[in-house]
Amino acid sequence: MAISDPIRVGVLFSQSGPISTIGTSQMQGTLLAIDEINEAGGIDGRPIEPVVYDPRSDPATYARLAERMVSVDGVKVIFGCYMSSSRKAVIPIVEKWNRLLFYPTLYEGFEFSPNVIYTGAAPNQNSVQLARYMTSNFGARVYLVGSDYIYPYESNRIMRELVLQHPDSAKIAECYVPLDATEADFTKIVNDIRDSRPDFIFSTVVGDSTTAFYRAYAEAGLDPRVMPIASLTTSEAEVSQMGRHAAAGHITAAPYFQSIDSPLNLRLLARFRRRFGDHVIPNLCWEAAYLQMHVFADAMARAGSDEIEPLLPQILGTEFDAPQGRIRIEPSNHHTWVYPRLGRVDATGQFTILQESLRPVRPDPYLVNLALGDWAVNLSAEEC
Amino acid sequence: MQPTDRRPGTPQTRHGLSVSPHGVPATPSLLKDLRSLRVLLLHPEDNDGDLLRRQLQRIGCQVQAVWPPRPQLPEGVDVVFLAVRPDSIALDYSWACAEGAPPVIAVVTYENPTIVDAVLRVGAKGVVSSPVRSFGLLSSLVLARKIGQEIQAQARRIAKLETKLAGQKRIAEAKTILMQTRGIHEDGAYNLIRDQAMAKRVNMEEIATAIINANEILSFRPAGQEVKR
């Protein structure tokens, strides 16, 4: 292979179907990082060449396209997946061929594959912080609403166990809607919320139906100052889709918000808008997609190869100055040290950061005993 | 789909599994125990051994790795992963079948009758096959402990029932002796045993045993002579 041959990498995010908004943003975050790396001369003079496919939000298509990337396109490393079902579909492929998958999404934990690097938050890096903030500021009577698949089931189990440790706590209800739920699906739920008056709502509704839920809430005239929706997945992308009016006042826990006021983040956002325009909205998964491409490129420059054997030791333990702060890939479990933050949507559709961690929190994907009072890291209290 | 029809249902209730009175399926205690679990890894220090140790530590267990296996277990082991290999099947595994022994999960490289037989002999409650994958270990671990706990609970229950049954047989025998020697009815015999037990503050089985023993001594006849009842 010539010294200047491009390095082909797989980019596998859904640009169509119910999770296309987040999927497209993850793809753009990936492409932005590739642009930066190539503009800086590539990896040892070799440019990165993305092989981009659209798995259309369908797990079987993810598996088929991942197989094609590896066997036909000769890709050694794949960047992709959002929903757990898509990750579970791709893992057998990368394990079979001994390739690497970078997965830039928060998920429910309880997984380790030697062929995956996980760059989103595990439950000990977002659920614990969100449960504590919500119970201490609003109360512990929770109403759980989720999309009907594994991530919401497990997230709700975690949230329930955290919230029910609190005195005077209660689970008012727990219900699930189809992934393509519309506003009509949520009308009954929102009416029930109005009647049962929980202290807060925990939403694990993902994808485009998030908009339908928040709009149904707004149209029912419910007040987020009294009874907000708390979420781990409602990001700037969903806020932009549903409109500021429907989103304002609701709360999200995430390692990254656009509103992080650091020179690095502001420069990156400006560069992204120049390159891609305003129609794709940066969010936590966009940032994870961006940072993981740089982690790969730095590691490959040191390893001199994109084969997993030399590459993996260079990835594990590595640190990178990401927009959220300096992150680290934990060698023992392949997950990422991230900075938990709590944000509330303001009138402009951006998140006001209520609290943020001063230090990165160690990922602990197999943590079974999540404790409400046992906070490993003190978040700063900028506004409580 | 009518989402609110399910409330306060959960994914678990839909599949008919048990739910606590509050409608909240709590995380099973067998899962919550994982972090305090002391795991003995009886496995050579090779790729599988290394992967097993790392995944168990990732889950949060306390792992002690030893090879070759010793004739006795260290103190305070909750579960054992044991490599069942052609070169180690002749060793002494009597500890594995002792009462109260921790459950054993066999790690097998071969699936031939010799190895399967060895897996049965160590009383394995689970099997992990080589090459070991990290995925699936947590389930094996939880399941083996669950089966081990159930077997131990059942063994305790059976022992209790056997004692109880033997006692009932003795009481019946003592009643028969009293009915024959005193010419009383079954109820009268029963009341007599019960009253004696209460007066002497012992249980009825002990009184019954005393009656049987006394009867054997009192009705002794030289060998060959039929006992007249």
How high is the mean pLDDT of chain B? 84
The reported pLDDT for the residue numbered B205 is 92
* A102 Cβ contact partners less than 8 Å away, ≥ 6 residues apart: A77, A78, A79, A80, A116, A117, A119, A292, A293, A295, A296
- Name the nearest CA neighbour of A375 among A366, A383, A359, B196: A359
**CA-CA distance, A345 to A221, in Å (whole number)?**
17
Contact A27, A64 (CB under 8 A): no
Residue A232 phi, psi (nearest 5): -110, -10
**CA-CA distance, A346 to A36, in Å (whole number)?**
31
The reported pLDDT for the residue numbered B21 is 37
Give ranges for CATH 3.40.50.2300 in chain A.
7-121+261-337, 124-259+340-381
* A277 Cβ contact partners less than 8 Å away, ≥ 6 residues apart: none
Token pair recorded at residue B141: 């671990």
- Name the nearest CA neighbour of A333 among A317, A355, A346, A352: A317
- Is the pLDDT reported for residue B19 higher than 50? no
Share above pLDDT 70 across residues of chain B, in percent, rounded to a whole number:
84
Q: How would you list the strands of the sheet with A325-329, edge to edge?
A: A319-322, A325-329, A336-337
Contact B178, B211 (CB under 8 A): yes
Cis bond leading into B131, ω under 30°? yes
Does B26 sit within 8 Å of A113, measured CB to CB? no
Fold of A7-121+261-337: Rossmann fold (3.40.50)
What is the C-alpha end-to-end distance of chain B, expressed in Å? 78
The reported pLDDT for the residue numbered B6 is 42
- Is the pLDDT reported for residue B116 higher than 80? yes
Give me the residue label for tokens 């409608």. B23
The whole-number average pLDDT for the span B50-77 is: 92
The reported pLDDT for the residue numbered A279 is 86
Instruction: Tell me which amino acid residue B97 is.
Output: C
The reported pLDDT for the residue numbered A150 is 86
Contact A181, A212 (CB under 8 A): yes
The DSSP string of A226-285 is: TS-EEESS--HHHHHHH-HHHHTT-EEEES--TT---HHHHHHHHHHHHHH-SSS---HH
Which residue ranges in chain A fall short of pLDDT 70?
A: 1-3, 373-384
- Name the nearest CA neighbour of A280 among A15, A39, A79: A15
CA atoms A344, A350, A353, A356: torsion sign:
positive
List residues of chain A with CB under 8 Å from any CB of chain B: 95, 110-114, 148, 153, 156-157, 160-161, 164, 171-178, 181, 185, 188-189, 192, 332-333, 364-369
Q: Which of A171, A332, A368 sits opposite B31 (nearest CB)?
A: A368
Map residue A116 onto helix, strand or coil.
strand
Does B35 sit within 8 Å of A171, measured CB to CB? no
Contact A293, A30 (CB under 8 A): yes
Residue B80 phi, psi (nearest 5): -125, 130
Does A114 sit within 8 Å of B134, measured CB to CB? yes
Map residue B204 onto helix, strand or coil.
helix
The reported pLDDT for the residue numbered B186 is 92
Map residue B33 onto helix, strand or coil.
helix
User: Beta B104-108 vs A379-381: how paired, if at all?
Assistant: unpaired
**CA-CA distance, A383 to A126, in Å (whole number)?**
18
Q: Which of A164, A171, A368 sits opposite B35 (nearest CB)?
A: A368
Q: Which of A110, A112, A192 sits opposite B4 (nearest CB)?
A: A192
The reported pLDDT for the residue numbered A373 is 61
* B149 Cβ contact partners less than 8 Å away, ≥ 6 residues apart: B30
* A238 Cβ contact partners less than 8 Å away, ≥ 6 residues apart: A21, A22, A210, A211, A214, A247, A283
For residue A7, the Cα-to-chain-centroid distance in whole angstroms is 26
What's the ipTM?
A: 0.78
The reported pLDDT for the residue numbered B220 is 67
pTM of structure: 0.84
Helix (H) or strand (E) holding A146: strand A141-147
The reported pLDDT for the residue numbered A195 is 95
- Is the pLDDT reported for residue B8 higher than 60? no
What residues pair up with B80 in beta bridges, in sequence order?
A: B40, B104
Q: Which long-range contacts (CB under 8 A, 24 or more apart) does A190-194 make?
A: A190/A216, A190/A217, A190/A219, A190/A220, A190/A222, A191/A220, A192/B4, A192/B7, A193/A143, A193/A217, A193/A220, A193/A222, A193/A227, A194/A220, A194/A222
Is A85 exposed, middle or buried, given 0-12, 13-18 or 19+ CB atoms closer than 10 A? middle
The reported pLDDT for the residue numbered A107 is 93
The DSSP string of A328-353 is: EE-TTTS-EEB--EEEEE-TTSPEEE
**CA-CA distance, B158 to B25, in Å (whole number)?**
30
The whole-number average pLDDT for the span B135-141 is: 94
What residues pair up with A145 in beta bridges, in sequence order?
A: A175, A203
List residues of chain B with CB under 8 Å from any CB of chain A: 1-4, 6-11, 22-27, 31-32, 34-35, 54-55, 57-60, 133-135, 138
Q: Which long-range contacts (CB under 8 A, 24 or more apart) does A302-307 make?
A: A304/A44, A306/A7, A306/A9, A306/A76, A306/A77, A307/A76
Domains and CATH numbers, chain B: 29-135 (3.40.50.2300), 158-219 (1.10.10.10)
Architecture of the CATH domain A124-259+340-381: 3-Layer(aba) Sandwich (3.40)
Interval A228-245: pLDDT, tens: 999 999 999 999 999 999
Report the gap between the CA of A245 and the closest CA in chain B (Å): 25
Map residue B108 onto helix, strand or coil.
strand
Which chain A residue has its CA at the smallest distance from B5's CA?
A: A175
| Confidence band of B70 (pLDDT split at 50, 70, 90) | confident
